[in-house]
Amino acid sequence: MPPLRSLGAAALLAALALPSGAQGRPTDGYHTTARLGATLDSIARSKPALVSVSVLATSPGRRPVHLVRLGADDKPAVLILAGAYGPQVSSSEVALRLVRDLARDPNAGTLLAQRTVYVVPRLNPDATEAFFGALRWERAGNDTRHDDDRDMADDEDGPDDLNGDGLITMMRVKAADGEWIADATDPALMRRADATKGERGVYRLLIEGRDDDRDGAYNEDAVGGTDLSKNFGHNFRFFSEHAGLHPFSAEETRAVAEFVSTHDQIAAVYVLGMQDNLLKPWEGRRVPGIGGNPQGTSAGGPFTASLPEDNPWFNAISADFKRLTRWSEGPASAAEIGDPLSWAYFHMGRFAFGSRVWWPGKAPADSTRRAPTPDPLVAERNDYRWLKANHPAGFVEWQTVTGFTIDGQPVEVGGFAPGATLNPPGRELDSLAARHGGFVRKLVESLPTVSAKAITVTEVGPRVYRIRATVVNDGFLPSNAAIGVRSRLPQRVRVEMTLGRDQQLSAGRRMQYVNALRGSGGSESFEWVVVAAPNSTVTLRVGSPHAGLSTQTITLRAR
Ligand SMILES: [Ca+2]
Ligand SMILES: [Ca+2]
Ligand SMILES: [Ca+2]
Ligand SMILES: [Ca+2]
């Protein structure tokens, strides 16, 4: 381990220092993709034996999608995937800090000699640019041009900043066909009128901006093509907004798919994104498939729920997450539609865990403004009240725009600031990353660890030897998830006996596979009978890239 005061470490610390001066800008502490790349390079230069950075893909906007590797390239690995949903920049920032903190940690060397951590910190750099521009808005699509409204013109009507605050929020305007009303308890919040309660809509609620192409629709075709958090293969929705033409139509998502497909050593995936199965673990169950046929077959269609056999492991890792992060509740998972988390589990057969990264805390109860029960705005109300108390710039109070009307009606602009419920102030990113970092270490330590133990050789006759071995998983997680046993991805634990030219196998098999060995000592025993010269050797190779490979040379003599 080089001394901390080496030039490399000093450069590393300098590169990650938050910019001083210019206080309170929402981008303080956040990294543009150019700065992200420079910072990763600086970390890699300071720890060349431990960290390497490469470019996994180039976005349609010609921006690099970085891939970081920590540790050796051929050890059981965790893949951390962040930044698929553009507005959630916090995920990239946490991923960057996870790399930094692991590279700095003097104790990580031992762990990373046996394990690999791959990190894709920002899958959608094109969309993320909207966070850093002079005009901030929640942009989900990459730079692929797309004619959202199929009027033969691309990107002709995007949002416009009507009130000049540098943010794209919402606008509301009174209209006879409006479907929205201001909430009675918190009038800054908008909700759909509930006709079953006799409520009538008053407002139209639109994204802030003009009808640039005068087709009667507002901001119907902005810049931004494919939302990469919807472009993965599981439960992909054709023709849905920003999903892309087909699964993996985007260069960036295809690169992830190719990377995982060619890296059998990846045992688990941690997605920093919009889907959660750590605060609320997936509850696997058997769902009847098409025509009553079992799911996971060609007749029954794909799985729509995780497998019940995997429940204990999702529950256990969730318990680790809650204990180590001290989070017990958070926002609900976004729908699992073309997202990287469900793809990693259902298609790639990996244990896959997802966290929402950051969210507003719990707002204190307000006795003067009692919310209705049940509350149709339960999540928004909490976020609104929390932001007003802790980060008032996160909500723009409604204000009438001067000199702009729609159908003769005045227009008000307001609502949540772009990304306000997804990205904390920059000063909180280090401690946020430390929370995730504790969990990542635990996950890396939990990977399956398979080896051959209790190898015995017995002479059962002249030149005839019986070999016994027990294949044991000393890691915490099973050697394969139940979904992985079904999909045969990643490859199962292989037990391979290799003999010399003058040796013969008279019982047992040269090569066999183990479906799944549970963790914490789960084992299976094997036996071979070999005809060979005394004191000659055979080789026993056990394991798989994601659960560890071990090779033993066994000498044939009576013990
Ligand atoms: Ca168009
Ligand atoms: Ca468009
Ligand atoms: Ca604005
Ligand atoms: Ca328009």
- More reliable by pLDDT, 27 or 59: 59
Domains 34-132+225-359+423-445 and 450-555 share a fold: no
Q: Which of these, 187, 190, 186, lies nearest to 382 by C-alpha position?
A: 186
Q: Which ligand is nearest to the CA of 156?
A: 1
Residue type for position 209? G
Measured over all CA atoms, what is the biggest interatomic distance in the chain, rounded to whole angstroms? Answer: 103
Residue type for position 61? G
**HSE, side-chain direction, 13 A CA sphere, residue 500:** 14
What gap in Å lies between CA 292 and CA 551, rounded to an integer? 46
Residue 109 pLDDT: 86
Lowest mean pLDDT among 176-180, 298-302, 538-542: 298-302
How does residue 13 score in pLDDT terms, banded at 50, 70 and 90?
A: very low
What gap in Å lies between CA 262 and CA 532, rounded to an integer? 38
**HSE, side-chain direction, 13 A CA sphere, residue 85:** 26
**Which tens digits make up the pLDDT trace of 432-465?**
999 999 999 999 999 999 999 999 999 999 999 9
Give the Å distance between the CA of 207 and the centre of ligand 2.
14
* Region of residue 237 (left: phi > 0; alpha: psi -120 to 50; beta: else): beta
What gap in Å lies between CA 151 and CA 155, rounded to an integer? 10
Residue 262 pLDDT: 97
Percent of the chain's residues with pLDDT above 70: 96
- More reliable by pLDDT, 319 or 558: 319
Residue type for position 238? F
Omega of the bond leading into 490 within 30 degrees of 0 (cis):
yes
Give the Å distance between the CA of 214 and the centre of ligand 1.
12
Residue 206 pLDDT: 97
Omega of the bond leading into 374 within 30 degrees of 0 (cis):
yes
**Which tens digits make up the pLDDT trace of 129-178?**
999 999 999 999 999 998 989 899 999 999 999 999 999 999 999 999 99
Residue 559 pLDDT: 66
What gap in Å lies between CA 472 and CA 323, rounded to an integer? 28
Q: Which ligand is nearest to the CA of 142?
A: 2
Over 60: is that where the pLDDT of 490 sits? yes
Q: Which ligand is nearest to the CA of 220?
A: 4
Give the Å distance between the CA of 129 and the centre of ligand 3.
17
**HSE, side-chain direction, 13 A CA sphere, residue 529:** 8
Residue 224 pLDDT: 87
Q: Which ligand is nearest to the CA of 134?
A: 3
Q: Which of these, 87, 144, 155, 96, lies nearest to 120 by C-alpha position?
A: 96
Q: What is the mean pLDDT of residues 422-439?
A: 97
What gap in Å lies between CA 116 and CA 100, rounded to an integer? 15
Give the Å distance between the CA of 242 and the centre of ligand 1.
13
Residue type for position 181? I
How does residue 19 score in pLDDT terms, banded at 50, 70 and 90?
A: very low
What gap in Å lies between CA 109 and CA 47, rounded to an integer? 11
Task: For residue 321, give the H/E element and its range.
Answer: helix 311-325
CB atoms within 5 A of ion ligand 4 belong to 157, 211, 213, 215, 217
CB atoms within 5 A of ion ligand 3 belong to 161, 163, 165, 167
What gap in Å lies between CA 279 and CA 515, rounded to an integer? 29
Q: Which ligand is nearest to the CA of 149?
A: 1
Lowest mean pLDDT among 15-29, 32-46, 95-109, 445-459: 15-29
Over 60: is that where the pLDDT of 12 sits? no
DSSP 3-state assignment of 136?
Answer: strand
Give the Å distance between the CA of 169 and the centre of ligand 3.
6
Residue 411 pLDDT: 98
**Domain boundaries 450-555, corresponding CATH code:** 2.60.40.10
Show the tokens assigned to 389.
């108390």
Give the Å distance between the CA of 256 and the centre of ligand 1.
30
DSSP 3-state assignment of 291?
Answer: helix
In terms of DSSP bridges, do strands 522-531 and 450-461 run parallel, antiparallel, or are they unpaired? unpaired
Q: What is the mean pLDDT of residues 228-237?
A: 97
- Say if domain 34-132+225-359+423-445 classifies as CATH 2.60.120.680: no
**Which tens digits make up the pLDDT trace of 515-530?**
899 999 999 999 999 9
pTM score: 0.93
Show the tokens assigned to 528.
């071979």
Over 60: is that where the pLDDT of 286 sits? yes
Give the Å distance between the CA of 26 and the centre of ligand 3.
15
What angle separates helix 89-104 from helix 429-445, to the nearest 10 degrees?
60
Q: CA quadruple 430, 431, 435, 437: dihedral positive or negative? A: positive
How does residue 244 score in pLDDT terms, banded at 50, 70 and 90?
A: very high
Residue 258 pLDDT: 98
**Which tens digits make up the pLDDT trace of 82-131?**
999 999 999 999 999 999 999 999 888 899 999 999 999 999 999 999 99
How does residue 367 score in pLDDT terms, banded at 50, 70 and 90?
A: confident
Residue 466 pLDDT: 98
DSSP 218-230: SS-B-S---BGGG
Q: Hunting for tokens 């139509």 — which residue is that? A: 249
Over 90: is that where the pLDDT of 6 sits? no
Give the Å distance between the CA of 159 and the centre of ligand 3.
9
Give the Å distance between the CA of 456 and the centre of ligand 3.
75
Domain boundaries, the chain: 34-132+225-359+423-445, 170-221+366-416, 450-555
Residue type for position 93? E
Give the Å distance between the CA of 206 and the centre of ligand 1.
17
Give the Å distance between the CA of 127 and the centre of ligand 3.
19
